[in-house]
């Protein structure tokens, strides 16, 4: 006997399949909001520097200082996350970020 034909799934169903899991939805939403905040911070930094000076070079230096650490750290961080337990790597990275934020707030 032959199997009855299965109903076709739409591409939209495959795209949103992961969003059916509540844990994934929370992580995805947190990541989306964090990335949005990073982009807003970058625009705000460039805008503030543009208000302080009319030099395009200085605005570019601010954008470079904002994005260069992320570009330089992302490749080694991916390799480290592949070699070690990702939860531990994430906790260490967040701890470093917390120490940096605390240091910046104390220096202000």
- Secondary structure (3-state) at 8: coil
**19 exposed, middle or buried (CB, 10 Å; 0-12, 13-18, 19+)?**
exposed
CA dist 28 and 34 (Å) reads: 10
Token pair 């109903």 in the structure block, residue? 7
Q: Tens of pLDDT along 4-29?
A: 766 665 566 778 888 889 999 999 99
Q: Tens of pLDDT along 51-93?
A: 998 888 888 888 888 888 888 988 898 899 899 998 999 899 8
User: Is the full-model pTM beyond 0.85?
Assistant: no
């Amino acid at each position: 006997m032959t199997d009855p034909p299965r109903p076709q799934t739409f591409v939209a169903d495959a795209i949103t399949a992961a969003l059916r899991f509540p844990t994934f939805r929370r992580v995805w939403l947190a990541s989306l909001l964090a990335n949005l905040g990073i982009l807003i911070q970058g625009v705000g930094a460039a805008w503030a520097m543009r208000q302080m000076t009319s030099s395009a070079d200085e605005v570019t230096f601010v954008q470079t200082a904002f994005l260069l650490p992320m570009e330089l750290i992302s490749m080694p961080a991916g390799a480290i996350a592949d070699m070690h337990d990702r939860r531990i790597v994430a906790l260490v990275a967040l701890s470093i970020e917390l120490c940096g934020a605390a240091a910046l707030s104390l220096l202000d």
